């Protein structure tokens, strides 16, 4: 089954052609990063306007790179929730019309589940496993029993981890997108230059929940309070110290969840899964006997291949959407698992 996957939930305009859920024939990602850079953040109106201008060409490029015509497609899949509403609507409207014109099935896909599925494309992992979804909009630790059965164990109670990376970078004018820049700067910084605090949450009722707004505030407003007296106040040191704690907050919950659930496999996904420190800390779990997978860098951030990949699972089980499907900005579809 050959599926065209379309992703326009934020600032990447992407289309991919994937055969049978794992064979990526093409994965075209037209990034808007340069156009949002002057604002150091994604401007929603600009994002949806660019998707409108680019989508047709991106889909055509995906078909061309896959070496097929649209007549060979078996279905069209599109991210329909959650995300920026205007951006989602461009993809959903396009996908609906495209599928209708070709007379083939069409399905809306949840962006969060697609991120969780991304590593399954390249490194299929046996279920169940602990899913770690870390992106600009979400931070979720969950138990994954199948592509469609995901139970949330913990989430952030305020900022998402990627949002914290982005806001710290924006405040110190380090560059955009923040996560990538902080990851790069950290390589030349001392992670112990500033001992930024982690959250002190009530761990009895929600032991796997996380919080990032306190860390963000400490880095932005109170950094001098946490500086080791011999350490220098450089962007590299701020980046490395922030990153150490941001990843630490997550890893402490991941280890606790693994110990409590007895799960032996872990898979990460989402833009922050591209972070080098997080990847090495997750990988280090292998020394304790866990199996760990995460997507290659291109499949961590938003892309159409993860959409087409997950859609295959639904389609082969008979799921379809009809023309009444709309886009939804909210995460309610995820919460109801």
Q: How far is the CB of 195 from ligand KG4 (least distance, A)?
A: 21
Q: How far is the CB of 166 from Zn ion (least distance, A)?
A: 13
Q: Which two tokens stand for residue 123?
A: 């490194």
Q: Which does 178 bind (CB under 5 to 8 A by kind): ligand KG4, Zn ion, none?
A: ligand KG4
Q: Distance between CA atoms of 213 and 221, rounded to whole angstroms?
A: 12
Binding residue (CB under 5 A) for Zn ion from 26, 135, 139, 243: 135
| Beta carbon nearer to Zn ion, 117 or 290 | 117
Q: How far is the CB of 213 from Zn ion (least distance, A)?
A: 20
Q: Which does 82 bind (CB under 5 to 8 A by kind): Zn ion, ligand KG4, none?
A: none
Q: How far is the CB of 74 from ligand KG4 (least distance, A)?
A: 27
Q: Distance between CA atoms of 322 and 96, rounded to whole angstroms?
A: 8
The partner residues of 29 in beta bridges, in order of sequence, read: 14
Gyration radius from the chain CA atoms: 20
| Beta carbon nearer to ligand KG4, 73 or 90 | 90
Binding residue (CB under 5 A) for Zn ion from 302, 306, 312, 315: 302
Judged on CB neighbours under 10 Å (0-12, 13-18, 19+), 20 is exposed
Q: Which two tokens stand for residue 201?
A: 């949450």
Q: What residues line the site for ligand KG4 (CB under 6 A)? A: 10, 115, 135-137, 162, 165-166, 177-180, 183, 270-272, 274-275, 301-302
Q: How far is the CB of 184 from ligand KG4 (least distance, A)?
A: 8
DSSP code string of 265-298:
EEEEESGGGG-HHHHHHHHGGGGGT-EEE---HH
| Beta carbon nearer to ligand KG4, 5 or 270 | 270
Q: Which residue stretch of 73-81, 179-187, 295-303, 329-337 sits at the interface with Zn ion (rule: CB under 5 A)? A: 295-303
SS3 177: coil
CA 62 to chain centre: 21
Q: Which does 180 bind (CB under 5 to 8 A by kind): ligand KG4, Zn ion, none?
A: ligand KG4
33, 177 Cβ separation under 8 angstroms: yes
């Amino acid at each position: 089954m050959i599926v065209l996957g379309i992703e326009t939930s934020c600032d990447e305009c992407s289309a991919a052609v994937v055969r049978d859920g794992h064979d990526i024939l093409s994965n075209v990602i037209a990034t808007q990063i340069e156009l949002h850079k002057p604002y150091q953040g994604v401007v929603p109106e600009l994002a949806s306007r660019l998707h409108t201008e680019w989508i047709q060409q991106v889909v055509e490029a995906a078909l061309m790179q896959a070496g097929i015509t649209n007549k060979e497609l078996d279905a069209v899949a599109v991210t329909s929730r959650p995300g920026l509403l205007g951006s989602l609507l461009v993809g959903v409207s396009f996908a609906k019309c495209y599928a209708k014109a070709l007379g083939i099935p069409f399905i809306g896909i949840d962006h969060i589940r697609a991120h969780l599925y991304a590593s399954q494309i390249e490194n299929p992992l046996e279920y169940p496993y602990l899913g770690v979804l870390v992106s600009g909009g979400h931070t979720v630790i969950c138990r994954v029993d199948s592509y469609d059965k995901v139970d949330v164990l913990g989430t952030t109670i305020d900022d998402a981890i990627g949002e914290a990376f982005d806001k710290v970078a924006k405040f110190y004018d380090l560059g955009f997108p923040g996560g990538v820049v902080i990851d790069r700067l950290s390589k030349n910084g001392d992670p112990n230059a500033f001992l930024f605090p982690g959250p002190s949450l009530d761990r009895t009722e929600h032991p796997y929940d996380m919080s990032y707004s306190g860390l963000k505030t400490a880095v932005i407003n109170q950094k001098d309070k946490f500086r080791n007296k011999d350490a220098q106040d450089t962007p590299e040191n701020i980046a490395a110290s922030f990153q150490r704690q941001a990843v630490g907050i997550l890893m402490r919950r991941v280890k606790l969840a693994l110990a409590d659930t007895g799960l032996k496999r872990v898979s990460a996904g989402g833009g922050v899964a591209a972070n080098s420190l997080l990847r090495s800390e997750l990988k280090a779990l292998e020394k304790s006997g866990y199996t760990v997978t995460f997507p290659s860098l291109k499949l961590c951030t938003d892309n159409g291949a993860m959409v087409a990949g997950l859609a295959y699972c639904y389609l082969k089980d008979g799921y379809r959407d009809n023309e009444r499907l709309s886009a939804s900005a909210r995460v309610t579809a995820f919460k109801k698992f």
